[in-house]
């Protein structure tokens, strides 16, 4: 359970840093439009901190973790961080006004999509693992 709390804490810090970066970076460039940088904070707070705090409660009550769970969480971490990395890259491109080629634009979108896929698949598998424990719980 300690590692779930540690992950929640790390993602809380990353979320706060993402929020500060968004605010300061857009202020530095006098940018007032829409940018994906605004989602860094939200993704890390909800999909990082809150997710692992909820996982901590399920672990405490149902003890669902095993070796396979570690691999699922590794995939979850990879998916979340790849997704946020490409949100960051896309946001920097938007704020700076960098003229990206179609290939670069497609690459950024594709890599963010891969992050979403890793995150989505691991999320479903983790929730299914918890669901099985909850269904078989004898109180």
Task: In whole angstroms, give the CA distance from residue 117 to residue 8.
Answer: 21
pLDDT at res. 59: 96
Does the pLDDT at position 134 exceed 90?
yes
**Which one-letter DSSP state was computed for residue 97?**
T
Tokens of 138: 């004898």
Q: What is the mean pLDDT of residues 15-24?
A: 98
- Give the count of beta carbons closer than 10 Å to the beta carbon of residue 64: 16
Q: What is the mean pLDDT of residues 97-110?
A: 95
Q: Where are the domains of the chain?
A: 2-135
Task: In whole angstroms, give the CA distance from residue 96 to residue 15.
Answer: 22
Look-up of token digits 């940088």: 37
Does the pLDDT at position 10 exceed 90?
yes
pLDDT digits (tens, 9 = 90+) for 62-91: 999 998 999 999 999 999 999 999 999 999
State the pTM of this model. Answer: 0.94
Does the pLDDT at position 138 exceed 90?
no
pLDDT at res. 137: 86
Q: Compute the radius of gyration of the chain from its Cα atoms.
A: 17
pLDDT digits (tens, 9 = 90+) for 36-65: 999 999 999 999 999 999 999 999 999 999
């Amino acid at each position: 359970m300690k590692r779930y709390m540690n992950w929640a804490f790390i993602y809380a810090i990353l979320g706060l840093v993402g929020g500060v970066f968004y605010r300061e970076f857009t202020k530095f460039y006098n940018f007032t439009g829409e940018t994906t940088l605004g989602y860094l904070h939200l993704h890390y707070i909800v999909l990082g901190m809150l997710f692992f705090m909820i996982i901590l409660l399920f672990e405490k009550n149902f003890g669902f973790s095993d070796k396979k769970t570690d691999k699922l969480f590794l995939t979850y971490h990879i998916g979340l961080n790849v997704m946020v990395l490409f949100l960051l890259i896309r946001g920097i491109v938007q704020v700076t006004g960098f003229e990206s080629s179609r290939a670069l634009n497609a690459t950024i979108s594709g890599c963010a999509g891969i992050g979403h896929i890793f995150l989505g698949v691991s999320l479903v598998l983790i929730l299914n693992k918890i669901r099985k424990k909850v269904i078989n719980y004898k109180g």
